[in-house]
């Protein structure tokens, strides 16, 4: 019998609590974002019934099909790479857009948010290891563009997000998490305001991320099990 979402959630919550306690942090300072990509709306119903409310999706097409069939209580964040022709849908579907990595896309979000009569919180994605294969700002570019980003009328910069290089050894991610935290401090100095969010840590390394200050952890596999569809996996 497969393990239920509720059982996985229980285990993850205990691990979050233990990591918070090691780091001297309050559990309420960490939001568990359940990454539901490739899982169907029925699974979202099960997750909401188990008490999970925050979900992350990384494909607009998939989210557009899934969100209307999911419980109204569920709250959604976009965690993927956004193309400008998908921004209008993203603004409509999501309460936060993580993974913003250019002034051009931020401008488009602000424009579409204005048309929709809202203000959209965003997180800026940082390519913490300088990997050619990954999206995200290089830190110097981010610092140079930060004031222009923050000046856009209908977005609010809430912090940073990153996806460090994959390693089966969670400790290997620690220097990247530290780097992202330090970069957030540098951004706060530039802007002269605190940035509340640091989105880092996934199934394999969220405890290390919490020890290093993560306020949002994005957990898929450890909650939902392996992603179902091989098609979805190929598109990851
Ligand atoms: C898929 C995904 C995750 C979750 O990964 P798991 O290893 O399954 O926990 C987290 N963040 C982003 C941006 C993702 O695309």
| CATH at 180 | 3.20.20.10
Specify the number of domains making up the chain.
1
What separation in Å is there between the alpha carbon of 128 and the centre of ligand 1? 16
E strand map for the chain: 31-35, 54-57, 75-78, 96-100, 120-125, 155-161, 197-199, 216-219
In a domain, 15, yes or no: yes
Q: What pLDDT score was predicted for residue 119? A: 98
In a domain, 231, yes or no: no
- At a CB cut-off of 8 Å and minimum separation 6, what does 112 contact? 87, 88, 91
In a domain, 91, yes or no: yes
Q: Report which ligand 1 atom has the smallest distance to the Cα of 98.
A: 13
How many Cβ atoms sit within 10 Å of the Cβ of residue 118?
12
What separation in Å is there between the alpha carbon of 36 and the centre of ligand 1? 9
In a domain, 234, yes or no: no
First to last CA, the chain: 27
What separation in Å is there between the alpha carbon of 92 and the centre of ligand 1? 22
Q: Which of 67, 159, 80 is nearest to 121 (CA)?
A: 159
For residue 164, what is the DSSP state? Answer: P
Q: Report which ligand 1 atom has the smallest distance to the Cα of 221.
A: 8
In a domain, 232, yes or no: no
CA dist 38 and 173 (Å) reads: 25
163-212: per-residue pLDDT in tens? 999 999 999 999 999 999 999 999 999 999 999 999 999 999 999 999 99
Mean pLDDT of the chain: 95
Q: What pLDDT score was predicted for residue 230? A: 45
What separation in Å is there between the alpha carbon of 141 and the centre of ligand 1? 25
Q: Which residues of the chain have pLDDT under 50?
A: 230-236
Angle 139-151/174-191 helices, nearest 10 degrees? Answer: 40
In a domain, 58, yes or no: yes
Best substitution site from 101, 202, 221 to test ligand 1's pocket, by max atoms within 8 Å of Cβ?
202
The model carries a pTM of 0.95
Q: What pLDDT score was predicted for residue 3? A: 80
Q: What pLDDT score was predicted for residue 53? A: 98
Q: Report which ligand 1 atom has the smallest distance to the Cα of 203.
A: 9
In a domain, 172, yes or no: yes
Q: Which of 168, 159, 165 is nearest to 204 (CA)?
A: 168
CA dist 34 and 222 (Å) reads: 9
Ligand 1 neighbours by CB, cut-off 6 Å: 35, 37, 58, 79, 163, 202-204, 218-222
E strand map for 48-193: 54-57, 75-78, 96-100, 120-125, 155-161
In a domain, 186, yes or no: yes
Q: What pLDDT score was predicted for residue 152? A: 98
Domain hosting 195: range is 5-224
Cα 86 to Cα 30, 60, 131, 196, 223, distances in angstroms: 29, 7, 25, 26, 28
């Amino acid at each position: 019998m497969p393990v239920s979402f509720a059982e996985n959630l229980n285990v993850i919550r205990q691990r979050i609590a233990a990591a918070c306690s090691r780091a001297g942090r309050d559990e309420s300072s960490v939001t568990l974002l359940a990454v539901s990509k490739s899982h169907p709306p029925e699974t979202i119903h099960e997750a909401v019934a188990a008490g999970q409310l925050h979900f992350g999706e990384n494909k607009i097409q998939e989210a557009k099909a899934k969100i209307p069939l999911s419980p109204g209580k569920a709250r959604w964040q976009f965690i993927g790479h956004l193309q400008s022709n998908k921004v209008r849908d993203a603004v409509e579907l999501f309460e936060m857009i993580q993974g913003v990595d250019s002034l051009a896309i931020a401008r488009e979000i602000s424009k579409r948010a204005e048309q929709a009569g809202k203000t959209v919180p965003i997180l800026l994605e940082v390519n913490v290891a300088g990997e050619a294969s990954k999206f995200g700002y290089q830190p110097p570019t981010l610092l140079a563009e930060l004031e222009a980003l923050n000046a856009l009328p209908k977005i609010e910069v809430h912090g940073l997000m990153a996806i460090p290089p994959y390693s089966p050894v969670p400790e290997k991610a620690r220097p990247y998490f530290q780097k992202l935290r330090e970069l957030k401090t540098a951004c706060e100095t530039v802007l002269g305001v605190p940035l509340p969010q640091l989105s880092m840590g996934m199934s394999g390394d969220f405890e290390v991320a919490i020890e290093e200050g993560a306020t949002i952890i994005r957990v898929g596999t450890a909650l939902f099990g392996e992603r179902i569809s091989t098609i979805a996996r190929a598109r990851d």
